[in-house]
């Protein structure tokens, strides 16, 4: 249950400004992802944060309108889009449990017959993208159309340089896909699937865009135009998997500190959901050893502490 406080929409901006001031004084800010060359040059001093209310009102500080590489954050949207199409059948092909291993690990797949632990590790996201590709013919394009509509930003697009960089360094993802294909858990040709997956992860969007695009999860599955994408139960499922699996193998610590469903990406972004109230996105490129934004986690921690808004 969301803990409701006396916090009104009018106080979000001062709260964000206070957090930005505190984050400016943060000494250790982590390091940008260096295994994707196009991300390595990002300045870890950059910081943006946005809060979107259910009616589309957005508040922000810092670099909140600066586009950045969303990376694994997009896994939330492909999951929602595929779940809306096939329902519970999806869960026969991907699990809902934390992995306890790095996001690109191959270790568990052999023990578990090619069924990934959850949709947010790379293997699970490949399965979800594959299934959405089968149902739409263009998984990345379907996700882009959804994000443009929900954010109200028709200029959202993919970064071809980053997609090419990921493809050039994508041997581990190719191995994951081929391994799952050997168990019959991938339908499309692996090269075509990888192209869709790398394009999906290369999306550029700002904190404002992503906070707005995520509000359907705070509205229990209802889109910005009032139509329903997910049932209340399905929206609960997505939020639950975000809480338990959304920040790689640091999900327990994230739940402990922040207390919200969240999904991070190695571009330095994190989205978070306060069901029934608002959504957030924070961005700072410096990562910790488990691939999460150091300042981003700290900022979300301060937000829930200052406002009392949490699912606990």
Contact present, 143 and 78 (Cβ < 8 Å): yes
Please check if 248 is assigned to a binding site: yes
248 is catalytic: yes
Annotated active-site residue in 61, 128, 190, 197: 197
Please check if 294 is assigned to a binding site: no
Please check if 111 is assigned to a binding site: no
Please check if 72 is assigned to a binding site: yes
Question: DSSP H helical segments within the chain, as ranges?
Answer: 12-24, 37-40, 74-86, 107-111, 122-136, 139-151, 160-168, 171-182, 190-201, 207-213, 215-218, 232-245, 251-257, 294-307
Please name the residue that has the structure tokens 């309108």. 65
75 is catalytic: yes
Token pair for 174? 């190719």
Annotated active-site residue in 69, 72, 99, 293: 72
72 is catalytic: yes
Annotated active-site residue in 15, 75, 105, 128: 75
Q: Which helix (H) or strand (E) holds 44?
A: none
Please check if 197 is assigned to a binding site: yes
Q: How many residues does the chain have?
A: 312
Annotated active-site residue in 128, 266, 282, 295: 266
263 is catalytic: no
Please check if 113 is assigned to a binding site: no
- The residue among 302, 269, 262 whose CA lies nearest residue 283 is 269
Annotated active-site residue in 127, 248, 284, 297: 248
Token pair for 310? 């949490």
Contact present, 123 and 180 (Cβ < 8 Å): yes
Rg of the chain taking only CA atoms, in angstroms: 18
Q: β-pairing, 48-53 with 58-62?
A: antiparallel
Residue 283 β-bridge partners:
48, 269
Residues 6+ apart with CB under 8 A from 158: 140, 144, 199, 202, 203, 204
What is 143-161 written as a DSSP string? Answer: HHHHHHHHHT-TT-EE-HH
Please check if 59 is assigned to a binding site: no
Which residues line the annotated binding site? 72, 122, 166, 173, 197, 248, 266
Positions at the binding site for substrate: 72, 122, 166, 173, 197, 248, 266
Catalytic residues: 72, 75, 197, 248, 266
């Amino acid at each position: 249950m969301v803990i409701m406080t006396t916090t009104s929409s009018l106080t979000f901006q001062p709260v964000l400004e206070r957090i930005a001031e505190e984050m400016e004084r943060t000494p250790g800010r982590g390091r940008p992802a260096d295994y994707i060359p196009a991300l390595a040059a990002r300045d870890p001093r950059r910081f943006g944060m946005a809060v979107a209310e259910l009616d589309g009102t957005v508040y922000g500080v810092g670099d909140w309108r600066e586009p950045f590489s969303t990376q694994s954050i997009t896994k939330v949207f492909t999951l929602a889009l595929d779940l809306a199409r096939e329902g519970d059948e999806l869960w026969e092909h991907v699990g809902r449990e934390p992995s306890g291993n790095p996001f690109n690990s191959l270790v568990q797949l052999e023990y578990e017959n090619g069924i990934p632990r959850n949709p947010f590790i790379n293997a699970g996201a490949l399965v979800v993208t594959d299934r959405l590709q089968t149902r739409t013919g263009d998984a990345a394009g379907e996700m882009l159309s959804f994000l443009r509509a929900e954010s109200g930003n028709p200029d959202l697009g993919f970064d071809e340089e980053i997609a090419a960089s990921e493809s050039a360094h994508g041997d581990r993802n190719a191995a994951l896909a081929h391994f799952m294909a050997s168990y019959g858990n991938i339908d499309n040709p692996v090269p075509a699937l990888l192209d869709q997956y790398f394009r999906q992860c290369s999306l550029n969007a700002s904190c404002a865009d992503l906070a707005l695009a995520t509000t359907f999860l705070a509205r229990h599955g209802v889109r910005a135009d009032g139509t329903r994408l997910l049932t209340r139960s399905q929206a609960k499922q997505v939020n639950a998997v975000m809480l338990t699996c959304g920040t790689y193998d640091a999900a327990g610590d994230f739940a402990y500190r922040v207390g919200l469903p969240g999904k991070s990406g190695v571009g330095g972004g994190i989205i978070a959901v306060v069901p029934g109230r608002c959504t957030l996105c924070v961005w700072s490129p410096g990562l910790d050893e488990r691939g999460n934004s150091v300042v981003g986690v700290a900022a979300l921690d301060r937000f829930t502490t200052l406002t009392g808004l949490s699912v606990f």
